[in-house]
Structure 1
Amino acid sequence: MNHPPVVIYTKFGCGYCFRAKRLLDEKGVDYTEHDITMGGPKRDEMMERAPTARTVPQIFIGDTHVGGSDDLAALERDGKLDSLLEG
């Protein structure tokens, strides 16, 4: 599947992160995962991209900030995720 780049910021042991990645995996979507458990530059990058984000996962499809796991699941439930992934 050809789609905009998908980026997900996660933390170790996060059930919501696992759920979001499982949904993307089930859809056959390639994504880049950044584990920000220990902070660092990728956490700073996430905060620049989503300044109000205080939880993980934070998911981006292309330039669109999807939000978290529940937001991703809502897009799927509403039938809007596939079109967003298609660009």
Structure 2
Amino acid sequence: MSTDALHVTLSDDTVAQDAGPIRELIDAVGSVVVGQEQMVRSLVIGMLTGGHVLLEGVPGLAKTLTVTTLAQGCHAEFSRIQFTPDL
């Protein structure tokens, strides 16, 4: 196994260019869902890292609307599993 370190150099321009479409997606969702910036950021991070996201909260926090809008924004399919409190 090689002990050589991997060195990656990123310029500010490269980071800004790569982050542009992600920022546009976050802004697009934010224009539909107001006041849930942290939830939107967490969803995008989960999506980009290939992870899973569990959204919990009381009714009326726009959880379904947020995920539906995010799916539309990146041309993805939306599906949902809903549990009841007794599960």
Q: Which has the higher strand share?
A: 1
Q: Which has the higher helix share?
A: 2
TM-score, normalised to structure 2, is 0.28
